[in-house]
Structure 1
Amino acid sequence: MISAAALRAHAEGLAEALPPLLAEAEHLAQAVLLGEHGRRRAGLGDEFWQYRPTHSGDEARMIDWRRSARSDAHFVREKEWQAAQSVLLWVDDAASMGFSGASDHPPKVQRARVLALALAVLLTRGGERVGLLGSDLPPRRGQHQILRLTEALGRELSPSDYGVPATRGMPPHSRAVFLSDFLGDLAPIETALAEAADRGVKGALVQVLDPAEEAFPFDGRTIFESMGGSLRHETLKAGDLRGRYLARLAERKARLADLARVTGWHYSAHHTGEGAQGALLWIYRALERGR
Structure 2
Amino acid sequence: MSPAALRARAEALAQPLPPLLAEARQLAASIQLGEHGRRRPGMGDAFWQYRPAMQGDPARAIDWRRSARSDQHFVQEKEWQAAQSVVFWVDRSAAMQFAAEDRVTKADRAAVLGLALASLLVRGGERVGLSDMPNPPQAGDLQVERMARLLMAEEEAEYGEPRLTQLPRHGRAVFLSDFLGPIEAVEAALARATDRGLSGALLQVLDPVEEAFPFSGRTLFHSMSGGMRHETREAADLREAYQERLAARKAALAALAASHGWRFHTHHTGDAPAAALLWLYHAMERQR
Please give the range of the TM-score, normalised by the shorter of the 2 chains. Answer: 0.7 to 0.9
Is 1:180 the counterpart of 2:181? The answer is: no
Is 1:133 the counterpart of 2:131? The answer is: yes
Q: Deviations over 1:243-280 (max 9, x none)?
A: 00000000000000000000000000011000000000
What amino acid does structure 1 have at the position aligned with 2:266? A
Where 2:265 maps in the other structure, the secondary structure is strand
Is 1:196 the counterpart of 2:193? The answer is: yes
- For residues 115-130 of structure 1, the aligned pairs below 5 Å read 115-130=113-128
Structure 2: distance between partners of 1:3 and 1:152: 26
Is 1:109 the counterpart of 2:107? The answer is: yes
Mark the runs of 5 or more structure 1 residues left unpaired by the alignment: 61-76
Seen in structure 2, the aligned counterparts of structure 1 residues 253 and 14 have a Cα distance that, compared at 3 Å, is: same
Seen in structure 2, the aligned counterparts of structure 1 residues 237 and 79 have a Cα distance that, compared at 3 Å, is: closer
Structure 2: distance between partners of 1:262 and 1:246: 24
What amino acid does structure 2 have at the position aligned with 1:145? Q
Where 2:136 maps in the other structure, the secondary structure is strand
Structure 2: distance between partners of 1:42 and 1:102: 49
What amino acid does structure 2 have at the position aligned with 1:144? L
Is 1:24 the counterpart of 2:23? The answer is: yes
Seen in structure 2, the aligned counterparts of structure 1 residues 163 and 51 have a Cα distance that, compared at 3 Å, is: closer
Matched with 1:68 is none
Seen in structure 2, the aligned counterparts of structure 1 residues 59 and 89 have a Cα distance that, compared at 3 Å, is: farther
Structure 1: distance between partners of 2:285 and 2:196: 18
- For residues 1-291 of structure 1, the aligned pairs below 5 Å read 4-5=3-4, 7-39=6-38, 50=45, 57=57, 80-82=81-83, 85-103=84-102, 105-155=103-153, 157-291=154-288
Q: Deviations over 1:75-109 (max 9, x none)?
A: xx998434xx1000000010000000111x10000
What amino acid does structure 1 have at the position aligned with 2:8? A
Where 1:109 maps in the other structure, the secondary structure is helix
- Once superposed, which parts of structure 1, at least 4 consecutive aligned residues long, lie more than 4 Å away? 2-7, 40-44, 49-52, 77-80
Seen in structure 2, the aligned counterparts of structure 1 residues 276 and 218 have a Cα distance that, compared at 3 Å, is: same
Q: Deviations over 1:93-140 (max 9, x none)?
A: 10000000111x100001000000000110000000001012224211
1:30 CA drift (Å): 1.0
Aligned length: 264
**CA RMSD, 1 decimal:** 2.5
Structure 2: distance between partners of 1:22 and 1:30: 12
TM-score normalised per structure 2: 0.85
CA contact (8 A) 1:38 1:127 kept: no
Structure 1: distance between partners of 2:31 and 2:203: 18
The percent identity for this pair of structures is: 54
CA contact (8 A) 1:38 1:123 kept: no
Mark the runs of 5 or more structure 2 residues left unpaired by the alignment: 48-52, 61-77
Structure 1: distance between partners of 2:199 and 2:7: 41
Seen in structure 2, the aligned counterparts of structure 1 residues 15 and 235 have a Cα distance that, compared at 3 Å, is: same
Where 2:266 maps in the other structure, the secondary structure is strand
Seen in structure 2, the aligned counterparts of structure 1 residues 31 and 148 have a Cα distance that, compared at 3 Å, is: same
TM-score normalised per structure 1: 0.84
1:7 CA drift (Å): 4.5
Q: Deviations over 1:40-82 (max 9, x none)?
A: 86758xxxx6588xx984699xxxxxxxxxxxxxxxx998434
What amino acid does structure 1 have at the position aligned with 2:216? D
Where 1:138 maps in the other structure, the secondary structure is coil
1:168 CA drift (Å): 2.4
What amino acid does structure 2 have at the position aligned with 1:261? A
Structure 2: distance between partners of 1:117 and 1:221: 40
What amino acid does structure 1 have at the position aligned with 2:101? A
